[in-house]
């Protein structure tokens, strides 16, 4: 008992996306009725069928079945010769299975997908793009990349300029567009260009008409060249130049004149104070109207100076050569919404000639501090306007014995020191410096 099968054509040619057929004659040479199952095996099995897939034959009879080949248009179906096998399996005697083979030639096709990203870029002189290409055909292809422009204003740099792509393979190349000269002023200029990515081999299979990615497809792109100096910058530079000219022409001479006048007034005021010194020293013990330095005072401007200088209150004289540099610190702490006074009292038999004053608001408290020398109010400052404030006097302010330097703090809101945690109380520090001198006996 035997089974025989015979294909009609020894070879079959089919195009991807198309269809081809061949026939197979199945004959029952046995002496019983036999059923046969027909199946395509091999690399063509995924896109091939047998119709009908099952036949029953009486002894000595035969039947012709059709083998349909329909490969998809895909890079996964490579061009070239592919073996085709049809298995004939008897149901009653499976050991008599027979396989008939032939060759299927798959035709080649080309399909190249390209993309330029981004299509538009901006820059002063150059910009970078990306060219993506994918071989969707079923044969290897060498792709050449090039850039074209209607004029000669820009140059192209492509790395690499050529790539070989296997079926289904993707690649990216770098494109650099650069202008030949910069634009210093004015409006931006748009330079359109095109990029081509075509098979280098002239013998490459033609793309199917109507399918995207034909060999003559070009990718449009744009490079927007920006001016180096925009218009608004020119306006700003012109305004700055005008202000500079106005400063040298008008403001600077006025400032110098004001400063010179202030220096002249200060010198005249100092001369007036020097002329008034003999009149402020009438509190000596012998009543002879000698200067505050005493009868043998040879340096009236040394030491602590005369009593009444700066303060203008007069008073006992100062012992010559008895002055020494001294400073005092007043530390005031008070809660929010409260007021507290800190004082420093000049010792008995001393005169404190103050030349420097420093106020520290290191927490950033909010409120008011009032500073008084004796009966004379020096200043009132809002705490939130400063962290450290200092004052200096050329002519010392003299504080007589038993008089006080007072710092009155009215706390509205404690601040936040460098630790980052808000303080529970306002905390101000006042430092006064100058010369502490003894009174004449």
**Residue tagged 């790539």 (tokens):** 163
- Buried (b) or exposed (e) across 109-119, using 16+ Cβ within 10 A? bbbbebebeee
Instruction: Please state the domain extents for the chain.
Output: 3-106, 112-225, 304-438
pLDDT classification of 332: cutoffs 50, 70, 90: very high
For the domain made up of 112-225, give the CATH fold. Immunoglobulin-like (2.60.40)
Question: What average pLDDT does the chain have?
Answer: 82
**Fold of the CATH domain 304-438:** Jelly Rolls (2.60.120)
Task: Average the pLDDT over 176-187 and give the result.
Answer: 90
281-310 per-position pLDDT tens digit: 433 334 333 333 333 333 333 333 333 333
| Mean pLDDT (whole number) for 108-124 | 93
CB-neighbour burial class of residue 373 (10 A; exposed 0-12, middle 13-18, buried 19+): buried
Confidence of residue 2 (pLDDT cuts 50, 70, 90): low
**Residue 211 scores a pLDDT above 60:** no
396: tokens are: 């010392």
Q: How high is the pLDDT of residue 246?
A: 82
User: How many residues are listed for the chain in this entry?
Assistant: 441
User: What local confidence, expressed as pLDDT, does residue 294 receive?
Assistant: 39
Residue 290: predicted pLDDT = 38
Residues with Cβ within 8 Å of 74's Cβ and at least 6 positions away in sequence, in order, are: 16, 136, 138
Instruction: Determine the average pLDDT of the residues in 38-43.
Output: 92
Q: What is the pLDDT of residue 56?
A: 93
Cβ atoms of 134 and 236 within 8 Å: the answer is no
Look at residue 9 in the predicted model and tell me its pLDDT.
62
Q: Strand pairing partners for 38?
A: 88
The fraction of the chain above a pLDDT of 90, given in percent, is 53
Q: CA torsion, points 156, 158, 162, 166, in degrees to nearest 10? A: -130
Listed range (265-274, 308-317, 322-331) with the worst mean pLDDT:
308-317
**pTM (2 decimals)?**
0.47
Assign 102 to helix, strand or coil. Answer: strand
Helix (H) or strand (E) holding 240: helix 231-246
CA gap 187, 77 in Å, rounded: 53
Complete DSSP assignment for 103-169: EEEEPP-B-EEEEEE-SEEEESSEEEEEEEEEE-SSS-EEEEEEEE-SSSSEEEEEESSEEEE-TT-
- Residue 304's pLDDT is 36
| β 170-179/154-159 pair status | antiparallel
Q: Report how far Cα 194 is from the mean position of its chain's Cα atoms.
A: 32
Do the domains at 3-106 and 304-438 have one common CATH topology? no
Q: CB-based contacts of 319: which residues, under 8 Å, 6+ apart?
A: 294, 437, 438, 439, 440, 441
3-class secondary structure, 46? helix
Please give the pLDDT value at position 420: 80
Is the pLDDT at 275 greater than 80? The verdict is: no
pLDDT band at 7 (very low <50, low <70, confident <90, very high): low
Mean of the pLDDT values across residues 339-351? 92
Segment 149-158 mean pLDDT: 90
Q: Is the pLDDT of residue 217 over 80?
A: no
Give CATH for domain 3-106: 2.60.40.10
pLDDT for the residue numbered 292: 37
């Amino acid at each position: 008992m035997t089974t025989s099968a015979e294909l009609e054509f020894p070879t079959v040619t089919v195009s991807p996306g198309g269809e081809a057929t061949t026939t197979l004659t199945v004959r029952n040479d046995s002496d019983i009725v036999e059923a046969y199952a027909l199946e395509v095996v091999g690399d063509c099995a995924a896109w091939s069928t047998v119709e009908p897939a099952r036949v029953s034959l009486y002894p000595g009879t035969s039947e012709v079945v059709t083998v349909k080949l329909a490969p998809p248009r895909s890079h996964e179906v490579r061009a070239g010769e592919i073996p085709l096998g049809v298995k004939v399996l008897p149901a009653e005697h499976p050991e008599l299975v027979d396989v008939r083979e032939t060759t299927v030639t798959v035709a080649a096709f080309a399909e190249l997908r390209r993309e330029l990203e981004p299509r538009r870029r901006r820059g002063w002189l150059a910009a970078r793009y990306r060219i993506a290409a994918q071989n969707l055909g079923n044969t290897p292809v060498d792709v050449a990349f090039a850039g074209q422009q209607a004029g000669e204003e820009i140059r192209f740099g492509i790395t690499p300029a050529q790539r070989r792509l296997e079926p289904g393979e993707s690649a990216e190349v770098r494109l650099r567009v650069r202008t030949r000269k910069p634009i210093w002023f004015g409006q931006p200029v748009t330079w359109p260009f095109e990029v081509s990515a075509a098979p280098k081999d002239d013998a490459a299979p033609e793309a199917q008409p109507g399918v995207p990615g034909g060999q003559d497809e070009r990718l449009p792109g744009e490079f927007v060249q920006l001016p180096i100096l925009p218009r608004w910058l020119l306006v700003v530079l012109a305004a700055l130049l005008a202000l500079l000219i106005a400063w040298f022409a008008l403001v600077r001479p006025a400032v110098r004149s004001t400063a010179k006048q202030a220096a002249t007034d200060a010198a005249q005021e100092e001369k007036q104070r020097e002329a008034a010194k003999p009149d402020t020293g009438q509190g000596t013990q012998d009543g002879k109207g000698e200067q505050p330095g005493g009868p043998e005072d040879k340096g009236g401007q040394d030491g602590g100076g005369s009593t009444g200088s700066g303060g203008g209150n007069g008073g006992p004289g100062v012992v010559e050569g008895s002055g020494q540099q001294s400073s005092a610190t007043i530390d005031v702490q008070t809660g929010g919404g409260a007021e507290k006074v800190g004082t420093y009292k000049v010792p008995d038999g001393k005169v404190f000639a103050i030349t420097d004053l420093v106020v520290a608001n290191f927490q950033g408290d909010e409120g008011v501090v009032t500073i008084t020398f004796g009966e004379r109010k020096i200043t009132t400052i809002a705490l939130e306007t400063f962290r450290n404030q200092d004052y200096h006097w050329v002519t010392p302010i003299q504080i007589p014995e038993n008089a006080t330097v007072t710092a009155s703090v009215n706390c509205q809101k404690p601040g936040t020191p460098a630790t980052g945690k808000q303080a529970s109380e306002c905390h101000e520090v006042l430092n006064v410096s100058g010369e502490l001198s003894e009174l004449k006996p």
